[in-house]
Amino acid sequence: MAQNGKTQSRAWLWILLAVVVVVGGFLFMRQKPVIEVRTARVSRQDLTSTIPTNGKVEPIVDFQAHAPNPGVIAKLYVHLGEQVRRGQELLRMDAADAANRVAGAKASLEGAESALTNMQHGGTQDERLAQQAELTAAQNQLQQAQATLATDQKLLAQGAASPNEVALAQQQLTTAQNRVAQIEKRMHDRFGTVDFSNQREQVAQARANLAAAESSYANVDVHAPFAGTVYSLPVAQFDFVQAGQALINVADLTKLQIRAYFDEPEIGKLAPGQPVVITWEAKPALIWHGHVEQAPTTVITYGTRNVGECLITVDDARGDLLPNTNVTVRVTTARHDNVLSVPREALHTEGSVNYVFKIVNNKLVRTPVQIAPNAVVNLTRAEITSGVSESDLIALGATSEVDLSNGMKVKPVE
């Protein structure tokens, strides 16, 4: 009996222990866990809103020489990157072909002008001499016809000639008179208005050809129109080039602009005068500054993007930023100093409502906040108009994969 009593007591003890464990586990599971959250303080800061994009550097003062005609680069006086002064000779092309063109154009002009002069005088000297000789002969025939008619008329009056002989003499006189009149008319009115107009056009065209040939001849020697830097030199000495081919580029590298391309939704934020920071991957340690010179006025297609072209003037170009390079620009569209702000990570939005989670007595309190239409909201912080105060402790996010909610017990961590 004593042994049975002990066994029963042990059984009840184990049963009691099991009940305590089950109840304790149930109570533990019903207790809400404390979530660790990262935190930050509401603070006052200087905030800026920027828009980054790509662009291409362009010289404002630029000179590009082209080959006036096909030919050979006879002499190259400069090298890539060289600083040149105004009027300095840069290169010279072979002038023989250009000189031949000038000579041919001069000969053509002289021929056209001589032809016009001859037309104004009724023809060349040989032609005028031949016409004068023809006129003299016709006038002699006229005199002879007049004398014959007079003689026949006298003989007719004396009865020594017949009326037919007088009529024949009269016909010969009329023929001689017509011949003289025709020659005189041809000598004075050989060329008509259309003839003169056509010849004057030929003279004008010949003068234009000569001017072009002389200009081409002058361009065989290329000089710098201003002081600058040789930034492109695609030819070498003795190269053969085609007419119109680019020979050399010179620019004032202290006067540069950037043609930047902004996506369509960002165009409305741009305005002349906004400050710009410029970077170039080829020289990552350097930074240039500028300002928006001209905001986009239309939208164009650039590759697969709809963009607005914006002109940016480089304010501190020092000669180390090269034309035609691709750069990154960052335009500051707004700057607000000493404004109340929260980390962007702490800001939540549902529809038109913005809110943060303040931490009060280790609990999350959903707190609506106001953001002004012109407030600065960038990638890291957001300007707050009302709803929180400076130094308020707010939650950024849980250290575990848990969504924050109103009333949640939390443990702030750094």
Please state which architecture CATH assigns to domain 35-48+337-413.
Beta Barrel (2.40)
Task: Report the distance separating Cα 414 and Cα 37, nearest Å.
Answer: 8
User: What are residue 251's DSSP bridge partners?
Assistant: 62, 229
Angle at Cα 97 formed by Cα 94 and Cα 99, nearest 5°?
A: 95
pTM summary value:
0.61
Confidence of residue 3 (pLDDT cuts 50, 70, 90): low
Q: Give pLDDT tens digits for 323-333.
A: 999 999 999 99
Structure tokens at 191: 């060329």
Task: Report the distance separating Cα 404 and Cα 410, nearest Å.
Answer: 9
At residue 401, what is the residue type?
E
Which pLDDT score, from 0 to 100, does residue 29 have?
A: 45
Structure tokens at 376: 């600065």
The mean of the pLDDT values for the chain is 86
Please state which architecture CATH assigns to domain 51-60+252-334.
Beta Barrel (2.40)
Range scoring the smallest mean pLDDT among 56-65, 211-220, 239-248, 307-316: 211-220
Structure tokens at 385: 């108009």
Residue with tokens 């300002």: 291
Range scoring the smallest mean pLDDT among 43-47, 103-107, 256-260, 393-397: 103-107
- For the chain, the structural domain boundaries read 35-48+337-413, 51-60+252-334, 63-93+223-250, 104-213
Buried b (16+ CB within 10 A) or exposed e, 292-323: bbebbeeeeeeeeeebbbbbbbbeebeeebbb
Which pLDDT score, from 0 to 100, does residue 75 have?
A: 92
Task: Report the distance separating Cα 140 and Cα 260, nearest Å.
Answer: 90
Q: Give pLDDT tens digits for 252-300.
A: 999 999 999 999 989 999 999 999 999 999 999 999 999 999 999 889 8
Q: Is the pLDDT of residue 24 over 60?
A: no
How many Cβ atoms from other residues are within 10 Å of residue 55's Cβ?
22
Q: Is the pLDDT of residue 219 over 80?
A: no
Q: 63-93+223-250: which CATH topology?
A: OB fold (Dihydrolipoamide Acetyltransferase, E2P) (2.40.50)
